Amino acid sequence: MFLLRRKYRPLLGLDITTSSVKLIELAMAGGQYRVESYAAEPTPQNAMNEKAIVDAEAVGEAIRRAAKRAGAKSREVAIAISGDAAITKVIQMPRNLRERDLESQVEMQADQYIPFPMDEVSYDFEVLGASEKDTDTNDVLLVATRMENVEQRQAAVSAAGLTAKIVDVEAFALENSCRLMTHQMPDGGIDRTIAVVDFGASSTTFSVLRNLKVVYTRDFAFGGQQLTEEIMRTYGLSMEEAGRAKKEGGLPGNFQTEVLDPFIDDMTQQVSRSLQFYLASGSGREQPEKILVCGGCANISGVAEVIASRVGIAAEKGDPLGQMKLSSRAKAQAVQRDATALLTACGLALRSFD
């Protein structure tokens, strides 16, 4: 006897950043997510300018190496553009519109909100449901970006011999992945306010979720690269040597007091400042009940505890893979080492199950 099962299309979640390309494949087994394959590769130097890809061939080669090392079976990926490259707007549309008419109406309205010629823009929309403003209308989420932002990433993926099936926005991918950390949230995040701070290499995203939906997000220039550069300056090392020493240890005895502690102070100040911006951003803002600290910097020993003691809110290292099994193909050591930096990649890989 065969049971009909919901099919899913295996998509690789591909997170392209200034420091690395991270590629993860998830599957579902027995009602539980499983990591099928994972690999990361350094992003070639000068291949990206901030979050823009300037050398698609070089980035594509890094993606190709990651896909080969992961042993990924799928050749289709979900990628994301940065939040500051996207325009998002909730608009209202009559509920009785047919799908074809809705599309043309959205296109007509989009022109009002997008400050670029429409032939230079990639956009999409999603019906969110009945609007609270007017019961005869639906809320429709409109998302748009310059076409070049999408084409850069598609070109890099194509250079790796893969196909970009979904182009998402990092903020949406992060929201998607937060459901993998509900085991770390009071009441699973339901009717709770939770902050998630994701420290990247050169930029950090601070988000606040209410009922598992992002209600506030802020990107700012700060990340682990600053610690690497401080190690370079203090000990006269090359970028490569400093990066290796940061991960593997072996630095002089004064490293903790001279370099690491001041950097942790900076991390804490950034979190505190982001909390202040959030609380001042609108009326009725509630203090988060917990902070989940993610990204590579979350692996610094004791950093979550320092943040908790300074800002007065419980904090913990976020682990989106904490409830997952690993397949035999997934290299456990690499997955566990990088787990806290895989929010965007996991959020994209979850699009396989949409």
Give the C-alpha separation, 249 to 244, whole Å: 8
Structure tokens at 208: 């606040």
Which pLDDT value is given to residue 314?
97
Domain span including residue 136: 85-147
Mean pLDDT computed over every residue of the chain: 90
3-state helix, strand, coil in the chain (%, to 5): 40, 30, 30
Nearest 5 degrees, angle CA 306-CA 22-CA 206? Answer: 40
Tell whether 19 is covered by a domain.
no
pLDDT band with cut points at 50, 70 and 90 for residue 5: very low
Tell whether 102 is covered by a domain.
yes
Q: Is the pLDDT of residue 9 over 80?
A: no
Tell whether 139 is covered by a domain.
yes
Which pLDDT value is given to residue 3?
39
CATH number at residue 102: 3.30.1490.300
Which pLDDT value is given to residue 303?
96
Contacts 24+ apart (CB under 8 A), 42-46: 43/16, 43/17, 43/18, 43/19
Tell whether 203 is covered by a domain.
no
Contacts of 32 by beta carbon, 8 Å cutoff, 6+ apart: 323, 324, 325
| Cα–Cα nearest to 77, from 166, 173, 192 | 166
Tell whether 32 is covered by a domain.
no
Which pLDDT value is given to residue 100?
83
Tell whether 132 is covered by a domain.
yes
Contacts of 305 by beta carbon, 8 Å cutoff, 6+ apart: 315
Tell whether 223 is covered by a domain.
no
Give the C-alpha separation, 351 to 354, whole Å: 5
Give the C-alpha separation, 250 to 148, whole Å: 43
Contacts of 250 by beta carbon, 8 Å cutoff, 6+ apart: none
Looking at the 3D structure of the chain, how many domains does it have? 1
Give the C-alpha separation, 57 to 77, whole Å: 17
Averaged pLDDT, 219-245: 91
Tell whether 265 is covered by a domain.
no
pLDDT band with cut points at 50, 70 and 90 for residue 259: very high
Rounded to a whole number, what is the largest CA-CA distance in the chain?
Answer: 69
Q: What pTM, to 2 d.p., does this model score?
A: 0.90
Q: How confident is the model over 93-137, as pLDDT tens digits? A: 998 888 888 888 888 888 888 888 888 888 898 888 888 888 889
SS3 assignment, position 19: coil
Give the C-alpha separation, 176 to 211, whole Å: 13
Q: How confident is the model over 128-176, as pLDDT tens digits? A: 888 888 888 989 898 989 999 999 999 999 999 999 999 999 989 999 9
Contacts of 144 by beta carbon, 8 Å cutoff, 6+ apart: 86, 87, 110, 113, 114, 121, 122, 123, 124
Q: Is the pLDDT of residue 216 over 50?
A: yes
Q: Is the pLDDT of residue 4 over 50?
A: no
Q: What is the dihedral of CA 18, 216, 124, 166, to 10 degrees?
A: 40
Q: Is the pLDDT of residue 260 over 60?
A: yes
Sign of dihedral through CA atoms 236, 238, 243, 244? Answer: negative
Which pLDDT value is given to residue 113?
85
